[in-house]
A and B are shown apart, each in its own frame.
Chain A
Amino acid sequence: MNMEEKPLEQLVQQEYRYGFVTDIETDVFPKGLNEKIIRMISERKEEPAWLTEWRLNAFRRWKEMEEPHWINAVYPPIDYQDIRYYAAPRDRRKPRSIDEVQPEILETYEKLGIPLREQERLSGVAVDAVFDSVSVATTFKEKLAEQGIIFCSFSEAVREHPDLVRKYLGSVVPASDNFFAALNSAVFSDGSFIYVPKGVRCPMELSTYFRINSSETGQFERTLIIADEGASLSYLEGCTAPIRDENQLHAAVVELIALDGADIKYSTVQNWYPGDAEGRGGIYNFVTKRGLCAGRKSKISWTQVETGASITWKYPGCILKGDESVGEFYSVAVTNRHQQADTGTKMIHIGKNTRSTIVSKGISAGESRNTYRGLVSILPSADGARNFSRCDSMLIGDRSGASTFPVIDVRNPTAQMEHEASTSRIGEDQIFYCNQRGISTEDAVAMIVNGFCKEVFRELPMEFAVEAQKLLGVTLEGGVG
């Protein structure tokens, strides 16, 4: 169509870097989903009876639910009986420290750029590593425990802190919330659990790294984060999976609870395998994430950089229940080739003088579809509520598509709501201007795209902001036009 399309087009065709498979003996359950499988999962994890019952109830609800199809994406039907709901590295000893973790697994994480050992010594980021269905290692546990912070795998939390788990599990995303949340509630395998006690500011970044390794499995992790009164924490999750022709389902549930004056920052760098150039394979990332600002002046902030997965379908949201609570959502969603993303946020204003900010940047290249869908709901009780939303889309190449479907519902006349959106492309004149000054087309595109996303990257913890920028470059390689 125009002259610079070709070099830009080539820019996008880079291969997925994290597509290797770790050859390790795994313990997998037979395919299929029924009460027996759920009991097996529960048994394997030595769960108390109430949790088994909770799972079974969720399963019963799930069976009555209909799979939703309103997403702006096309995919073949999912056969829920053709998935393995549990896979774990075969290692019966429970590793008590990193040194006891199987070397193959440590190697995997090193290849992924998450050297668990070094991480411990150098970077000062506490990591919980989740391999298929189980958490294999959590670093810095002892150091955090000194301040009363609990950071462990979900299974461990069930064993060690059953009261906390029982109190908060399902309190933000009930088992019957939606089809995929119900499925997760029935079969969830592992995930991270964080509790920061009253008045404690978590001294380091907390992080979970999710890795799907086995084939024909789904990953159904469950994350529960509680910040008690006046507590504060920053958490980051990252994810990858091997290259496979099949589609794998990832249906996670994340629940955040912020009590009075607490502050939770949740960042995601999502880089699941996006499928090949023809759109074969890739992860279906169907995730329910929600935060509850339960207390006064509490704050929950979501930042996400979504570059992977063949289909992304998620709306991290905030329920602003406490007066003067604050919700934030910063998102960059990049789609290339045949990727499809339908993502956004929900801000539910209930308390007085609650505030929310939404900044969403969508970039679609290749033949991908990128949709922003969001809800801002200001209920009659939310006197003086404020919302500002901005969602911008950038189109690269004439075969990609971008849609914006925000819903704004204001039921209180003292509220103020502003929403802005725009769609544009990288202008030929902008590229020309850069070329003229000796900047290659490739660098010019990277520069413009990074500028477009700057507002969001600014919100990421520093180490990850750099990583996110690089990731963006990789994802877009070959998709620019």
Chain B
Amino acid sequence: MAPVTFEPVDAFTARHRDFTREVDGATHPVIQALRESAIARVSSIGFPTRKHEEWRTTDLTPVYATPFSPAIPDPGSAVEIPLPAKLFLEASSPLAVFVDGIFVTRLSRTPTDGHGVTVSALSRMLDESGDFRALLESYDESRADVFAELNSAFLVDGAAVQVEDGKGSDRPVVLLHLSTAAGGPRHVSPRTAVIAGRGSRLRLVEIHASLGDGRTFTNARTDISLHAESTMEYVRVLVENEGTIHIDRTSVLQETESTAATHSFVFGGGTVRHNLVHTLDGEGAEARLFGLVLADGRRRVDNVTRIEHARPSTRSFERYKGIVAGEARHSFTGRIVVRPDAAKTDARQTIANLLLGARASAEVKPQLEILSDDVRCTHGATVGRLDPDALFYLRSRGIDADEAQRILTRAFAVEMLDEIGEEWMRRSLDTLLQDRLRRIL
């Protein structure tokens, strides 16, 4: 590990000072106040090093050692949507576009179409609904996360998604994040707040892509609140360039009988860490977490999930797969907590990793913490390579070695696509998957 040449807290506080001087006055007063309280919390929490058990798997040296400058709004920005992102855009879908982490109303499509789905700038929503302010300002000291606070400290404007009670649509809301890294390494802080009303339905697609090869530190945060009996399907696709360090925190709070499925596809980025927290805070709530990682070169992907069974009769199902080639590394930490009164919990977790490179590696840390006896929890993990017999079978039928590897690897991965409800989205992801496999193998 290269020596850290400065104190990260000092560096970020100094940047924060210059940054607020530029953006104060031009942003919503609630956001402005949040930035101040958040930077104070950043200083008091401090930044982790490899000695912090929870961050041991993530190399944060480049975050601390690179002079990333915080992105500020650029009113004249015009962007060309990159190809992989285009795969997920339907002409009529509501669309929220973020350029360098800042929500740009001008580029977004925010129709009001009778489905009760509203997509708008967070700053606009703050004036209309107190719920969004509460969600934005929510802070749990016991689970303080310095990067989540750092996101608030550098927030300019984010996106708000709201679904009215009993309403909703199958057409996905697309959140498109583009990073330009214009004028040197950029620190971007995208923020999304989602509130799905009682009995509502929501489909979300989130895409992170880079424009060009510049270096970006993406520090994203998404807070989702699902009211009773609501349903959400959330698909996240990361296709950023190798110069990107992507640290992301997604929190999903689920009330009674709500169901949520999160699908995370990590196909890009240099260093990626996704922290995903589902809190099942209502009886009968259900969470389904799926993830697929495709990593090659020297990329590092960390998936850190936490499922809290806080109420009785909650269910969770988690399945992550990793395809690791070259010298890449995939780490998975999946914690399942069953609180004392969460009787009749059913939790299952399966992790499978496929190692394709001689120097590829995978680390799996399933963690069960069970404080109630009336539960059923299982977890399983495997790490291995492609079956030599299956490879031989394909080769004996005239398929070359690379193609044979691709066929078997796609077969390993494709199961993760099947879980998605929308047919065209499955096809788009499959196209992307095959394109990536051709590059890796």
* Interface set of A (CB-CB < 8 Å, partner B): 70, 378, 380, 393, 395-425, 481
Contact = CB atoms under 8 A, between A and B. Distances in A.
Given A413-B357, A413-B360, A423-B368, A408 B383 contact: yes
B366 A419 contact: yes
Given A417-B381, A417-B383, A410 B361 contact: yes
Nearest to B349: A421
B372 interface: yes
Contact of A425 (B356, B366, B374): B374
Contacts of A424: 375-377
Q: Which of B361, B363, B367 has the most CB of A within 10 A?
A: B361
B355 A406 contact: no
Interface string B374-414: 11111111111100000000000000000000000000000
A342 to B, nearest CB: 12
In the A-B complex, the 3 residue pairs with the smallest Cβ-Cβ separation, listed nearest first, are A413-B355, A395-B373, A411-B361
A403 B369 CA distance: 4
Contacts of A406: 364-366, 381
19 contacts: A70-B53, A396-B373, A402-B370, A404-B366, A404-B367, A406-B365, A408-B364, A409-B362, A411-B359, A413-B355, A414-B385, A415-B355, A415-B383, A416-B385, A419-B380, A420-B379, A421-B366, A424-B375, A424-B376
Interface residues of B, number: 35
Contacts of B382: 416-419
Chief secondary structure at chain B's binding surface: strand
B373 A413 contact: no
B371 interface: yes
Q: From A399, A413, A419, A420, name the one whose CB has the most chain B CB atoms within 10 angstroms.
A: A413
B370 A403 contact: yes
A70 B377 CA distance: 24
A408 B365 contact: yes
A186 B355 CA distance: 44
Contacts of B67: none
B340 interface: yes
B298 to A, nearest CB: 14
B51 to A, nearest CB: 12
A415 B384 CA distance: 6
Contacts of B378: 420-423
Contacts of A402: 368, 370
Q: Which one of B340, B361, B373, B385 has the greatest number of beta carbons of chain A within 10 Å?
A: B373
Contacts of B381: 406, 408, 417-419
Interface in B7-41: none
B359 A380 contact: yes
A403 B372 CA distance: 11
B355 A404 contact: no
A393 B373 CA distance: 10
A440 to B, nearest CB: 21
Contacts of A407: 363-365
Contact of A413 (B356, B363, B369): B356
Contact of A398 (B353, B356, B369, B373): B373
A450 B300 CA distance: 44
B384 A421 contact: no
Nearest to A417: B383
A409 B361 contact: yes
B78 interface: no
Nearest to B354: A413
B370 A423 contact: yes
Nearest to B357: A413
A395 B359 contact: no
Contacts of B361: 409-412
B134 interface: no
Given A410-B353, A417-B381, A417-B382, A425 B367 contact: no
A413 B327 CA distance: 11
A422 B350 CA distance: 12
B358 interface: yes
A405 B356 contact: no
